Amino acid sequence: MPRTILEPRFQVEYLSILDSDGNLDTSLEPDLSADELRRLYRGMLLGRRLDERMIRLQRQGRIGTFAPIKGQEASQVGAVVTLRPSDWMVPSFRETAAMLWRGWPIEKLLLFFAGYLEGGQPAPGQNDLPVTIPVATQLPHAVGLAYAAQYRGDDAVVMAFCGDGATSEGDFHEALNFAGVWHVPAVFVVQNNQWAISVPLKKQTHARTLAQKALAYGLPGLQVDGNDVLAVYAACREAVARARAGDGPTLIECVTYRLGMHTTADDPTKYRAAEEVEAWERKDPLTRFVTYLQKKSLLDEGVTEAVDAEIAAAVQRFEAFGAADPLTMFDHAYAARPAHLEAQRTALAERLSNGGPAPTGDTVEPASPPMRGQRTSRR
Amino acid sequence: MARLNLVKALNLALLQEMERDEDVLVMGEDVGVDGGVFRVTEDLHRKFGSKRVIDSPLAEAAIIGAGVGMALYGLKPVCEIQFSGFAFQCFHQIENHAARYRMRSQGRFGVSMVIRMPYGGGVRALEHHSESEEQFYAHIPGLKMVIPSGPRNARALLVSAIRDPDPVIFFEHKGLYHAAKEDVPDEIETLPIGRAQVVREGGDLTLIAYGGMLRLAREAAETLAEEDGAQADVIDLLTISPLDRATLVASVQKTGRVVVVHEAPRSFGPGAEIAASIMDGAFLSLEAPVARVTSWDVPFPGFAREKASVPDLARVLAAARETLAF
């Protein structure tokens, strides 16, 4: 018997519309209004400026460890802008710009990274999950949400984020497989920022692309220039429309770069060359979009100042947030407090009222423990 | 009223809850067309279709992870893990997420889901098909851990678990599936989660057991009454966590002597928490150390040696007599 070809050799598309030199493929340019373009820029800029501010807040000990997003603004904002507010967004832990776009108040994000669970509470009716820290484990939740939406007959789409490292986790593969079999309205956005802490992509996978991993599960996979907000937007808009039409899930790999550290507890100079970072700085998603907007005369005066003022006002609200009441830790372990938690709460309440330690919320530790896999060295 | 074994009683609970509430779904490996490897979900697929009785791909983490997502949306998934020995492949989804979303979201989301698993030995099965791992789940804040001991309470507890706003781990002892039948009423019954039952009363000794070990505790109590003239309280825990400490303490305040029986290995097992809780609540009533009869602290020894590890009547009686004579 001869060997036979069961399927044609696969191909993975790569989409780029606005390259790092500002060259534009006008045939692919999405039809976005002037206001939409301005909002896109503002969303990316807010992500960038807040990120920079958060690093200073962390260094001052006013918030704890967090995962900066610098360089990934386009692959976040370009993706979530294609969702309706009633759609669902499932973040990992490096989606600050996406979360801002989805309506998370800045002060809530700050509270979250200052150790207050209040910061992870979505507003009533807000269809966003809170930050998920264990890598890739949020992806099956997205599949379940999408299944539930389909089951109820709602036309909601679920967009889930993960990084390149997540594509090595079992939950990534299980989620894609379930999504394919169940044909759910989900869009998986992989922010391939080239580094999973200190491990580069070439040690993460032997595959040529991450997008092609979708093909094994019978779903479309597309690679886009993740620093090109127009390309991310175009790809996600198509995927979201496909999901909403009942045509199943899509995987989109955004090729981007983490210009900063993995988290504020990380020192990337230990594992990667300055030249590499400089090369990617020349592909900065904001720089090329600024050029694009300038050509269209859409770059407003004072937008940076307005964004900074918004951040400053939010930082003030964050700092005005009261001390954490320790007793509320017993409120949400269960829907109703079981007897043993009632007893433990009473014990703590008595201790606090008898001159025990003061509520700890007003004394944020100057240096907080590292996130997963981090060295403990601090600056 | 019908005479049902545990399998049929659980099936009745699922059927009636699915008829009552369209949000209730069943998901797992082989739960659909096949009706589950132990037939607990038999015929549900035919009645409710493949969208509500889902034959999932073979992947425990995604079964529980997708279940979490469904629950976050407001559905009530009842997920089956085929054997509790395979649940370590979804343990992270249970511990990291099912148990925590309510806390993490500060009450915005709850995970109202049931995770059913057959557990326990004595059925001449291979490794990973015979273990008792309730202690892992009982230790996790945010979870509830339920283990029925017979058809009637299994049916009522499963209904309660499905209606519970929090995630419930529901263990079903394989040795009980086709054991005794009981009268199970046609109308839906519930039992409160977090409440133990005193199933036999006596003033000399407290025997505490649950699930597959309850029968042993009852037999021991009858033997002690006949041969030793000693009368034992027998407590069926039904819920491992949250533990009904009040019922345990009240009994020990009366008897002063306690034997805890469980099939899980001893060290750091439920017996340790039970003993500590009794010391907290009834220390001055104790006349003897709290005795534990458990499996030995070894990995599953294979079913050719299983009977030497899982508690049997002789070991329960010996522990009870030592405790009574202390």
pLDDT band at A373 (very low <50, low <70, confident <90, very high): low
In chain A, the percentage of residues whose pLDDT exceeds 70 is 93
**Cβ–Cβ contact A139 with B under 8 A:** yes
B45 classed as catalytic: no
Helix (H, G, I), strand (E, B), or coil: what is residue B61? helix
For strands B2-4 and B182-184, give the pairing.
antiparallel
B170 within 8 A of B161, measured Cβ to Cβ: yes
pLDDT digits (tens, 9 = 90+) for A229-282: 999 999 999 999 999 999 999 999 999 999 999 999 999 999 999 999 999 999
Q: Is the pLDDT of residue A375 over 60?
A: no
**Cβ–Cβ contact A159 with B under 8 A:** no
Question: How many helices (H) and strands (E) in chain B?
Answer: 11, 14
How high is the pLDDT of residue B115?
A: 98
How high is the pLDDT of residue A358?
A: 52
**What are chain A's domains?**
13-320 (3.40.50.970), 326-358 (no CATH)
pLDDT digits (tens, 9 = 90+) for B23-34: 999 999 999 999
A30 within 8 A of A231, measured Cβ to Cβ: no
Question: pTM score, two decimals?
Answer: 0.95
How high is the pLDDT of residue A127?
A: 98
Rounded to the nearest integer, the mean pLDDT of chain A is 93
- In terms of phi and psi (left: phi > 0; alpha: psi -120 to 50; beta: otherwise), the region of A297 is left
pLDDT digits (tens, 9 = 90+) for A293-320: 999 999 999 999 999 999 999 999 999 9
Q: Is the pLDDT of residue A4 over 90?
A: no
Residue of A nearest to B242 (CA): A338
End-to-end Cα separation, chain A, in angstroms: 66
Q: Where are the domains of chain B?
A: 2-184, 197-325
How high is the pLDDT of residue A5?
A: 83
CB atoms within 10 A of CB B178: 14
Q: Is the pLDDT of residue A376 over 80?
A: no
Into which CATH architecture does domain B2-184 fall?
Answer: 3-Layer(aba) Sandwich (3.40)
B3 within 8 A of B183, measured Cβ to Cβ: yes
How high is the pLDDT of residue A357?
A: 59
User: To the nearest whole angstrom, how far is the Cα of A151 from the nearest Cα of chain B?
Assistant: 7
pLDDT digits (tens, 9 = 90+) for B113-124: 999 999 999 889
Q: Is the pLDDT of residue B316 over 80?
A: yes
Tell me the mean pLDDT in the region A330-358. Answer: 91
Residue of A nearest to B73 (CA): A145
Helix (H, G, I), strand (E, B), or coil: what is residue A185? coil
Tell me the mean pLDDT in the region B134-154. Answer: 98
CATH topology identical between B2-184 and B197-325: yes
A83 within 8 A of A142, measured Cβ to Cβ: no
In chain A, the percentage of residues whose pLDDT exceeds 90 is 89
A34-59 and A285-295 helices cross at what angle (nearest 10)? 150
Phi, psi of B264 (to 5 degrees): -65, 155
pLDDT band at A356 (very low <50, low <70, confident <90, very high): low
Residue of A nearest to B64 (CA): A140
How high is the pLDDT of residue A367?
A: 45
A289 within 8 A of A78, measured Cβ to Cβ: no
Q: Is the pLDDT of residue A64 over 60?
A: yes
Interface of B with A (CB under 8 A): 25, 51, 56-57, 59, 61-62, 64-75, 77, 92-93, 96-97, 102-110, 141-142, 144, 165-166, 194, 242-243, 245-246
Instruction: Kindly report the CATH number that applies to the domain delimited by B197-325.
Output: 3.40.50.920
Q: Is the pLDDT of residue A369 over 90?
A: no
Phi, psi of B143 (to 5 degrees): -105, 160
CA distances from A274 to A165, A279, A280, A330, B197 (A): 22, 9, 10, 47, 68
pLDDT band at A379 (very low <50, low <70, confident <90, very high): very low
CB atoms within 10 A of CB A189: 28
Residue that wins the pLDDT comparison between B212 and A22: B212
Helix (H, G, I), strand (E, B), or coil: what is residue B234? strand
How high is the pLDDT of residue A354?
A: 84
How high is the pLDDT of residue B75?
A: 98
Of A87, A123, A88, A91, the residue nearest A104 (C-alpha): A123
Q: Compute the distance between CA of residue B248 and CA of residue B6 in angstroms, rounded to an integer.
A: 26
For B159, the enclosing helix (H) or strand (E) is: helix B151-163
Tell me the mean pLDDT in the region B308-322. Answer: 97
Report which residue type is found at A129.
L
Q: Is the pLDDT of residue A372 over 80?
A: no
Active site residues of A: 258, 262, 271
Q: Is the pLDDT of residue A362 over 80?
A: no
Report which residue type is found at B303.
F
pLDDT digits (tens, 9 = 90+) for B230-239: 999 999 999 9
Structure tokens at B186: 């046609």
Q: ipTM value of the model?
A: 0.97
How high is the pLDDT of residue A374?
A: 47
pLDDT digits (tens, 9 = 90+) for A122-154: 999 999 999 999 999 999 999 999 999 999 999
